Each structure stands twice: as structure tokens, then as C-alpha cells.
Amino acid sequence: MAQSNCDVVIVGGGLGGATLGRSLAIRGIRTLVVECEAVFKDRVRGEGMHPWGVAEARALGIDGLLRDSGAHEVRWWKRYFGPVPRDCRDLVETTSAHCGCLNFYHPSMQRTLLDAAEAAGAIVRRDTAVVGVEPGDAPAVRMRTVHGEERVSARLVVGADGRRSVVRSWAGFIVNQDPPRLVIAGVLHEGLRAPEDAVQYFQNPSCGQGALIFPIGQRRFRSYSISGVPQRRPLSGSRHIAEFVDACITTGVPCDWYAGASVAGPLASYPGADCWVGHPYRDGVALIGDAAAASDPSWGCGLSLTLRDVRVLRDCLLGTDDWQAAAHSYAQQHDRYYLALHRVEDWLTQLLYETGQMADARRARVLPHWANEPDRAPDLSGLGPDTPSDEAARCRFFAEDVDLPAGQ
């Protein structure tokens, strides 16, 4: 078996792996990125990045690359209850990053960033699957190539192999999984009659459904339909397109937006549940992105969270020669920010998607307080995991503080 070594081997050339590969290679760290796909195709993945993720992209020096490769900045975030407009947020004015949501076609983003990693000096092996990881003081990966198996050892192996990560099992991580509460179905539309300068978010708590439409430029839109598990069997494949559109219209999307629109990619459904590991570093192997924590896609934070991981791990590794200590420090920080995000998304799911009498009563009590004091709602777009998520924030979220007698 052929043998070689480098400083860091990254398994997976998605947003996380490619960006980390580029960030380390430009600092002179000998980096290998291994990606099993030869060509990227539509897998129904994240294409709308919140402003807090755009801030991470800037810190990593990739926002210009994304824009140059066709990313589309969307200034407004428009929310509806059913078909009735509720509010329209100017993201540029109201976020500390002073930018809109950055939307892109996922395969183009992957290609751009993997090319950029290569241009920065990383070795990128495409069409090559990692088939094993050996954790330890001198961790290694085994990859399958056209010439047979090859083994590469490194100071650090990074698992960036996505929501179905196998690196995490090879390295012995214990995986936590929330019970499925939501189902999210997504498809790419062309020519939808929706505005291109706003993300459109329709919520219909009375039927436990949501619909999200991200314009990604050139009259293309990534559309999602979200519903509670009890309400919906997963929609997948072309035979379910009409059912998908019906669900969006029932949620509140204007029917005429679909006149003349066509479908430009597969329809696929995913469980709206988090899947994560605690402390994503052990034995020479660190996990980033979805491999470390795949957050419920219904809240659209996975891309931003992935870039937070890359930035934090990069800064830890560049800050010291003791890479074990650096990777432990990354993992500790990951636990803090990921669990904060998880808490807030859990509250949102309870409030906005649960159905039944108790859920209706909760909404009837809480939502008027949100209307009067909008800062009771977490700022997932602007602050992500840095939005307050402590017990006081939870009480304010569920308006429990207003039920307390004065002075308590």
C-alpha cells in the first residue's frame, strides 16, 4: 500500500472541508482534502446563509469568492402567518454584519471553494473515497484510488464528511440524535413568480406547516416545505411535486407564484432533527460541520454553523504548536455555541410547529407579546448561537415572565 504524510487530512470537500483546506493551506500548513465526488450535483442542501454566517465567511476570506461565483445577496426577510404578511426585516440595517442573506447554488459553491483550496496550495483528491480512519497519536486515513488503497498519516485528521459521517464512527464518537419532529422537503424551482430581493418565510402554526423560499439568483429559487412528522409522509421524487406545491400553497404561498414555474432538480425530504456529538475531538480526529453537528435544516443554520466551526478550529490550530490542546479547545467552544443554537431552535420548534390544543393555547398567549416586544424572539439570522439562550431568555421567549407577580 502506498504511504505518505502531511500535516492535516480533511475527509470531505463540502463547505466545511474545502474552506478549512483553503484556510490552512494559505498559512503554509501541508493539507490534503479528500472528496469522493468527481462532479457536484444537486443534493438538496443548504443554499441560504444567514448574516451571522456571512460574517464568518468574511472572517475566513471566502465571501468575495462566493459572490464572484454567483452568490446572490438578499436584503429582506419577509414573514407571513398563513398568507398574511407579518413583517419584513431589513437585514442590512438590523444585523451587526450589515448584510443580507447570502444565497447560492450549492454545487457551484462546492466547486468554487474546492478550486480555491487547491489554488491556495492544498492537495485536493477528487473522486477518491476515504475508506478508513485510524485514530491515535499519529492518525491516518486510508483512501481508495484507481491504483488501489493508499494510506496518509497526519498530525490531525478532520472529519468534514457531512450529516451521515462515517469518520465519527471510525473514530469512536458517540452520536446523539433528537427524535424527528419535523420533516423538510426541498426542490429547486425556476421562474417562480416570487420577488428576488427577499427570503419568504410562511408559517402556518394552525396546521403545523412552514414554507421557505430562498432566491438564489437568475430566477432560480430553493423552495422548502416544512411540517410536523405526524402531518406528513416524506415527499420525494417527481411523483410528489404536485403534493409539494399544494403543501406550500396550504401554508400560505400565493398560488399564482407557481404559474409558469418549472422544477430544476430533485425533490427530497430530510428529517428535521439534530444529530451531533459532544466534544468533537478525540484521539487525533476532529469533526466539523454536519459531521460534528447537523442542526435541524428547518432553521437554516447549518452553513453558518459549519463556517463557525472552520473559523474556530483554524484559529485554535494557528494559535499554538500543541495541536491536541488546540483541537480540545475547539471542541469545548463547539459544545458551547452549538448547544446554545440547539436550545433556541428547540424553543422555536415547540412554539411554531407543535399542533394540538395546548400548542394553540401557548401560541395564543405568547405571540401577542412577541408582536408588542419583537426582541422576545431570538435573532437567529443576525446572531445565531450568540442570541441569548439562558433561562431568562427562555422565560422571555415563552412570555413566562409576564405571568409572574410584579416584583418577582
Ligand X SMILES: Cc1cc2nc3c(=O)[nH]c(=O)nc-3n(C[C@H](O)[C@H](O)[C@H](O)COP(=O)(O)OP(=O)(O)OC[C@H]3O[C@@H](n4cnc5c(N)ncnc54)[C@H](O)[C@@H]3O)c2cc1C
SS (H, E, C) 244-266: HHHHHHHHCCCHHHHCCCEECCC
Q: How far is the CB of 29 from ligand X (least distance, A)?
A: 19
DSSP calls for 90-106 = EHHHHSTT---EEE--H
Q: Let me know: does 214 contact 101? Beta carbons within 8 Å.
A: yes
Q: How far is the CB of 381 from ligand X (least distance, A)?
A: 11
Q: Let me know: does 163 contact 277? Beta carbons within 8 Å.
A: no
Positive/negative CA dihedral, 126, 306, 99, 262: positive
Residue 382 binds to ligand X (criterion: CB under 6 A): no
Provide the 8-state DSSP code for 253. Answer: -
Measured between alpha carbons, how far is 223 from 221 in angstroms, rounded to an integer?
6
Q: How far is the CB of 161 from ligand X (least distance, A)?
A: 4
Bridge pairing between strands 101-103 and 72-74? antiparallel
CA 20 to chain centre: 16
H or E segment at 381? none
Residue 34 binds to ligand X (criterion: CB under 6 A): yes
Among residues 11, 99, 188, 317, which is the contact residue for ligand X, using CB under 6 A? 11
Q: Which is nearer to ligand X, 272 or 399 (CB)?
A: 272
Q: How far is the CB of 272 from ligand X (least distance, A)?
A: 9
Q: How far is the CB of 395 from ligand X (least distance, A)?
A: 28
Q: How far is the CB of 52 from ligand X (least distance, A)?
A: 10
Q: Let me know: does 51 contact 305? Beta carbons within 8 Å.
A: no
Q: Let me know: does 58 contact 229? Beta carbons within 8 Å.
A: no
Measured between alpha carbons, how far is 88 from 266 in angstroms, rounded to an integer?
30
Residue 16 binds to ligand X (criterion: CB under 6 A): yes
Residue 36 binds to ligand X (criterion: CB under 6 A): yes
Q: Which is nearer to ligand X, 45 or 342 (CB)?
A: 45
Among residues 7, 37, 42, 246, which is the contact residue for ligand X, using CB under 6 A? 37
Q: Let me know: does 265 contact 188? Beta carbons within 8 Å.
A: yes
SS3 of 212, please?
strand
Task: State the number of binding residues for ligand X (CB under 6 A).
Answer: 36
Q: Which among 72-80, 157-165, 193-201, 312-320 is the span making contact with ligand X, rule CB under 6 A? A: 157-165
Residue 401 binds to ligand X (criterion: CB under 6 A): no
Residue 15 binds to ligand X (criterion: CB under 6 A): yes
Q: Let me know: does 200 contact 178? Beta carbons within 8 Å.
A: no
Q: How far is the CB of 124 from ligand X (least distance, A)?
A: 11
Residue 100 binds to ligand X (criterion: CB under 6 A): no
Closest CA to 347 of 404, 299, 289, 278: 299
Closest CA to 8 of 31, 42, 40: 31
Measured between alpha carbons, how far is 249 from 194 in angstroms, rounded to an integer?
13
Q: Which of residues 109-148 bind ligand X (CB under 6 A)?
A: 129-130
Q: Which is nearer to ligand X, 265 or 396 (CB)?
A: 265
Site string for ligand X, 291-310 (x = CB under 6 A): x-----x--xxxxx-x----
Measured between alpha carbons, how far is 10 from 157 in angstroms, rounded to an integer?
6
Measured between alpha carbons, how far is 14 from 106 in angstroms, rounded to an integer?
9
Q: Which among 173-181, 283-291, 315-323, 328-336 is the span making contact with ligand X, rule CB under 6 A? A: 283-291
Residue 345 binds to ligand X (criterion: CB under 6 A): no
Residue 386 binds to ligand X (criterion: CB under 6 A): no
Q: Which is nearer to ligand X, 208 or 289 (CB)?
A: 289
Site string for ligand X, 182-211 (x = CB under 6 A): --x-x-------------------------
Residue 160 binds to ligand X (criterion: CB under 6 A): yes
Q: Which of residues 43-82 bind ligand X (CB under 6 A)?
A: 44-49
SS3 of 130, please?
strand
Residues that bind ligand X (CB under 6 A): 11-17, 34-37, 44-49, 129-130, 160-162, 166, 184, 186, 270, 289-291, 297, 300-304, 306
